[in-house]
Structure 1
Amino acid sequence: MSYSFKSHRAESPTSRQESEMAERKLRELVAAGNIGDPVERLRLLCLSRGATGILHLGRILRLMDNHGSRNLSRREFLHGLKEVGLELSEDETKEVFHRFDTNGDGSVNIDEFLLSIRPPLSDSRLTIIDKAFCKMDHTGDGLITMDHLKHFYNVKASPRYQAGEDSEESILLKFLANFEKDTERDGKVTKEEFLNYYSAISASIDNDCYFDLMMRQFYKL
């Protein structure tokens, strides 16, 4: 099995840490090969793609959800994992599906699955991410628009902007591209997508205070 690292990072104070984290996870993934816990391999696969890896996994799984129930049949679930690039043996296929078919009804809940894949977030980090999202979610319906991100994301906090290495518009467009791809534009960002993105960013930052400061600067909290 071969993997390649493709960077889709937003310009941010964490770009270097994120790149290092992604490359480290890629090395771990290559070292693991086709052995070890398949769920951990999926987590490494996502993180090796940077902050958008788990975000992309969530998108793929939602595309498999033809009925909009947030639950996937075995066929839909395994097809989604294959689409994201995870190769499983027949035994691993059965193991992964049964591990997440928690109530034995023949389906896997997308939200519960993504929660198990996402790197863990401390209470303090969850709180600051929630504050940033809630600041933009005026209606309280768990959705923000791309216009909200444009309005609230503080591009001028980017070191690349401050150093004159990139324009405000360019940095903003790169950041927004993390949440909407050309083929997947709906103009909205869910709280799940926001959490998935920042959970990967969080995985690249060891210091809680630094993560908190970064969120406060970028969302003017």
Structure 2
Amino acid sequence: MACTQRGNNELKMKAKRMMKEAKDPIEKLRYACLARGASGIKGLGRTFRIMDDDSDLSLNMKEFKKGIHDYGLIMDDDVVSSLFEQLDKDHSGSLSFDEFLTALRPPMNNSRKELIRRAFQKLDRTGDGVVTVQDLHGVYNVKKHPKYISGEWTEDQCLKQFLDSFDSPNDKDGKVTEEEFMNYYAGVSASIDNDAYFNLMMVNAWKL
């Protein structure tokens, strides 16, 4: 279950407000991403992966600044530099993707993380760590989709639209990794304060 339009709009408004109040560079970047909706953090992660020409899964200061700029986030150079220095804990001059995205995710307790992992494992029928349209057959029912009922779309087209909802608006590749799924739901989680409601939403959505 992707974040509803209403939930996404509420998250964007809350994030824009919090971004103005945030003093910490990591929080500023986190809210700047969430101001784009639940898929904002996942989208930034994908932008950085595309930039990683040498596939070493890390970024230097120059790549980091370019990634933030290419994703369209407006941040002062000194804030970006301060952010990089704060994240580069071993002062090596480079950041690993995993450390960066883990630091960027809104804080979540272990029970929420476990629910997200279980939902992903249910979707990932092949167990290869990537969810595609093929994985969704028999897991996600499209029979009630209006365009399927009308005959306008095939089952695969409906499943592709569902998968797209977890993707960044301008960067859909038809694949969702566990990291991207976690980053997406970290955004959804940020819009839900109540643990019981988050639990109920995930259990109902994914029949966990």
Q: TM-score range by the shorter chain?
A: 0.7 to 0.9
After superposition, residues 1-221 of structure 1 pair within 5 angstroms as 14-29=4-19, 31-32=20-21, 36-149=23-136, 151-154=138-141, 167=147, 172-180=159-167, 184-221=171-208
2:187 and 2:142 map into 1 onto residues whose CA distance is 20
Residues 59-68 or 138-147, more deviating? 138-147
1:92 and 1:28 map into 2 onto residues whose CA distance is 16
1:119 and 1:182 map into 2 onto residues whose CA distance is 21
1:89 and 1:19 map into 2 onto residues whose CA distance is 26
Residue 129 of structure 2 contacts residue 178 of structure 2 at CA under 8 Å; is this kept in 1?
yes
1:220 and 1:155 map into 2 onto residues whose CA distance is 15
The 1:104/1:189 distance shift into structure 2, 3 A limit, reads same
2:141 and 2:190 map into 1 onto residues whose CA distance is 22
The 1:182/1:98 distance shift into structure 2, 3 A limit, reads closer
Residue 73 of structure 1 contacts residue 106 of structure 1 at CA under 8 Å; is this kept in 2?
yes
Residue 154 of structure 1 contacts residue 220 of structure 1 at CA under 8 Å; is this kept in 2?
no
Residue 39 of structure 2 contacts residue 168 of structure 2 at CA under 8 Å; is this kept in 1?
no
Per-residue Cα deviation, 1:132-183 (whole angstroms, up to 9, x for no partner):
1112334443222232245423568xxxx6xx9x556687554322344686
Residue 11 of structure 1 contacts residue 171 of structure 1 at CA under 8 Å; is this kept in 2?
no
| Unmatched segments (≥5 aa) in structure 2 | none
For these two proteins, the number of residue pairs brought into alignment is 201
2:35 and 2:77 map into 1 onto residues whose CA distance is 24
2:137 and 2:16 map into 1 onto residues whose CA distance is 32
Q: What is the SS of the residue equivalent to 1:72? A: strand
1:50 and 1:17 map into 2 onto residues whose CA distance is 9
1:208 and 1:182 map into 2 onto residues whose CA distance is 28
Residues 113-122 or 15-24, more deviating? 15-24
* RMSD, matched Cα: 2.8
2:35 and 2:58 map into 1 onto residues whose CA distance is 26
The 1:92/1:70 distance shift into structure 2, 3 A limit, reads same
2:2 and 2:88 map into 1 onto residues whose CA distance is 38
Q: CA shift at 1:90, angstroms?
A: 3.9
2:6 and 2:169 map into 1 onto residues whose CA distance is 26
TM-score (ref. length: structure 2): 0.81
